[in-house]
Amino acid sequence: VRTERLVVLGKLSSGIAHEIRNPLGVIDSSAYYLKKKHKDADEKTMTHLNRIIKQTRISTDIVQSLQDLTRMKEPQKARMDIADVIEDGINVCIIPQTVKIIEKVPKDKLFVDADGRQLLIVFNNILNNAVQAMDNKGTIWVTADRGSNNWVEVSFKDSGPGITSGDLKKIFQSFFGTKAKGLGFGLTICQMIMEKHGGEIEAQSELGKGTTFIVRLPSIKANNERS
Is 114 within 8 Å of 131 (Cβ atoms)?
Answer: no
Decide if 225 is inside a domain.
Answer: no
Give the residue from 15, 173, 146 showing the smallest Cα distance to 82.
146
User: Which tens digits make up the pLDDT trace of 108-151?
Assistant: 899 999 999 899 989 998 998 899 899 989 999 999 999 888 89
User: Which structural domain range is residue 188 located in?
Assistant: 78-218
**Among 43, 79, 66, which residue's Cα sits nearest to residue 218?**
79
pLDDT at 167: 86
Q: Is residue 103 part of a domain?
A: yes
Q: Residue 121 has what pLDDT? A: 87
pTM, 2 dp: 0.71
Give the chain's domain count.
2
Neighbours of 96 (CB within 10 A): 12
Distance from the first to the final alpha carbon of the chain: 34
Residues 111 and 139 in one domain: yes
Q: Which pLDDT score is estimated for 168?
A: 87
For the chain, the 3-state helix, strand and coil shares in percent, each to the nearest 5, are 50, 20, 30
pLDDT digits (tens, 9 = 90+) for 33-72: 999 898 889 999 999 998 898 888 878 777 776 666 666 5
Tell me: do 103 and 204 sit in the same domain: yes
The answer on 83 and 26 residing in a single domain is: no
